[in-house]
Structures are given as C-alpha cells and as structure tokens.
Amino acid sequence: MDSSPSSPPVTAQPNTALGISLKIVSVVFFVGMQTCIKAAGPEVPPGEIVFFRSFFALVPVAAYLGWLGILKTAFVTNDLLGHVWRGIVGVTSMGLGFFALTRLPYPEFVAISYASALLTVVFAAIFLREVVRSYRWTAVIVGLAGVFVVSAPKLTILGSGFGNAETSGVVIALAAAAVGAVAAIQVRRLVRTERTATIVLYFSIMCSAIALLSIFFGWKVPTRMEATYLVAAGLCGGMGQLLLTGCYRYADASTIAPFEYSSLILAIGVGVFLFDETISLTTIIGSLIVIGAGVFIIYREHQLGIERNKARRVTTPNG
C-alpha cells in the first residue's frame, strides 16, 4: 500500500477480531484506490495523480478528525521540518509507484511493492541503529530473492531497454519500494514526538502542496471519467488511511501486519477480471517467497517482543 502506518498506543479495549476486520477493510480501500489509478490510465502524469490522491484524501481525514473534535489540535506539531521531509519522500514514493502501477500487471506491481517492508528492515538497521539479527537478515535476503523472481522476466534492459513499458515499470516500482522504505523510517522518527492524527493530516497536506508544483511540468485536463477515477482514488486513500490507523488501536501490529498480504489476492482478482491480465507462474512463485519471508519477519518481531516483555518483568523490582 501507498503509506506507512504509525501505530498509536492501544488506548481502546483490545478487540483482535475488530482490529483484523478494520485492517482487511483498509486493504480493500487501498486496492480500490490503486484500481482507480490504474483505470485512469498512463496518460495522466504521476504528479497530477499524487495531487488528486492526497488532496481528496483530506476530505474523509478532516471530517473524521472534526467529528472527534481534534482537528484544530491535530495541526499542533513539534517537528514541522520532519513533516516536510516526510511529504517530500512520500510524494516521490507515490509518484514512482503510480507511474509503475499504470505500466505493470496489477499483481506484479503489488508483489514488487512488498519489497518496501523488507527494505525497511535494512534501513532501520542502518539509519536507526536497530538490532537486526541473523534470522531476520536471512528472511530479508530470501524475500528480496522472491522480488527478483517476480521482476526478472520483465528486466529486458539489454534487449528493448527502458522504452519497454513493463521494464521501466519494474525498475520504477523497485525505486518506489526503496523510497517507501525511507518514508517508513521517517514515520518511525516522527512517532517519537508526534501524534498519529498530526502525522496523517500533515502527510496529506504536504503531499498535496508538493504535488501541485508538478503542474509546471505539464498536467492534462482530465476527462470526466479520468477525473471521477482520480477523485475516487483520493477518497479511497483517505478512508484506507483512517481504517489502517484505527486497526492498531484494537490489536498488536504483529497480529495485524500479516493481513497486508491479502492485497495480493484482491490484486489478482482485479487484474484478471477488470483489466484482463494474465498471472505468470514466476509472479505466483515469487509472491509466495516474499510473503513467506515477510510473515517470518513479523513472527520474529512478535517473539522478540515477548522476550523483551519477559525481561522487563524480571528486571522490574517488586513494589
């Protein structure tokens, strides 16, 4: 999906079934967003797509924050420059991703986008000095190998070069995944001082403002159908972000995260039935490898969390 969640403290009564349900519905909305973008077609410039996606996402986000009575306070920030940087990285990731989405079969795009979570582990070790042990490094390597299995058939650079739409789509999708991992690292930094509502609100505002600058590089006047798809993409993106944020209030991230991979099932259905795409064997095999590696990383994170909690209980003196 197109944004990295920041998990707020679980202040609501834990309800695993509700948390999982919200996660799955958020995936449906994000798939709806991407389906609308793909349906709008490659003729719409990526910067224009990012603007519509970000600006109209503000409608459900602002309405929800207003309903909660926290819209005004959500603007209060301790790290404005951090939000600007998050916006720049987010616009770049979305723009690259939307470009790739309109040039690749949908399931292949989704499978390659899973590389972002794997690269986040790598970047967290490099930039945040997080401890990553051999099990997770092995899972990352295996997962990236799966991404290569999906990508390799399209990487015909020596033959047809970047003029081939699918070849350029794969390269740009990989770049989008890498930049998306950088965005995830920035979110991890922001959550140390910023509230979730503030991060979500500023992200949409910053992306809208930055993407609007791309109008100087040439936008097209969208047809009525293209405009409908673009507005719908923004509304779906905003709803998906709200549901994604909400799901972490009711269940742990390690419980919620594996359901992200349900997007591939939906992507296959959308690709086959709406866009008349065929699913290659390499896409299926590579996707299974990537998903297996991702689930293992989530499992290891869960196990390490249990171990850390046990250690805290042992070292905490009794009252």
Cβ-Cβ contacts under 8 Å for 80 (sequence gap 6 or more) = none
Q: What does the pLDDT average to over 304-314?
A: 61
Tell me, yes or no, whether 11 lies in a domain.
no
The one-letter amino acid code at 61 reads V
The answer to the question of residue 87 being in a domain is yes
The answer to whether residue 9 is domain-embedded is: no
Closest CA to 40 of 222, 215, 204, 217: 222
Does a structural domain hold residue 45? yes
Instruction: Give the number of other Cβ atoms within 10 Å of residue 35's Cβ.
Output: 22
Would you say residue 180 lies in a domain? yes
In this predicted structure, what is the pLDDT of residue 147? 94
Residue 10 lies in a domain: no
Render pLDDT for 13-36 as a digit per residue (tens, 0 to 9).
Answer: 778 889 889 999 999 999 999 999
* Number of domains into which the chain is organized: 1
Considering the domain boundaries, does residue 1 fall inside one?
no
Pull the structure tokens for residue 308. Answer: 């850390």
Decide: 196 and 8 in contact? Cβ < 8 Å.
Answer: yes
Cβ within 8 Å of residue 131, ≥6 positions away: 125
Rounded Cα–Cα distance for residues 283 and 102 (Å): 17
Split at pLDDT 50, 70, 90, the class of 4 is: very low
Looking up tokens 């999982």 gives: 20
- What pLDDT score was predicted for residue 319? 42
Assess whether pLDDT exceeds 80 at residue 282. Answer: yes
| 195 torsion bin: left (phi>0), alpha (psi -120 to 50), beta (else) | beta
Average pLDDT rounded to a whole number, residues 240-265:
83
Confidence check: pLDDT of 77 > 90: yes
Looking at the chain, how many residues does it have?
Answer: 319
- Position 37 pLDDT exceeds 90: yes
State which residues form the domain around 259: 16-315
Please compute the mean of the pLDDT values over residues 91-105 and round it to a whole number.
94
Give residue-wise pLDDT tens across range 209-230.
Answer: 999 999 999 999 999 999 999 9
Helix (H, G, I), strand (E, B) or coil at 153: helix
Residue 2 lies in a domain: no
What predicted TM-score, i.e. pTM, was given to this entire model?
A: 0.85
With 0-12 CB in 10 A as exposed, 13-18 as middle and 19+ as buried, what is 46?
A: buried
Note the pLDDT tens digit of each residue in 127-185: 888 888 888 899 999 999 999 999 988 776 545 555 577 888 899 999 999 999 998 88
Predicted pLDDT at 5: 46
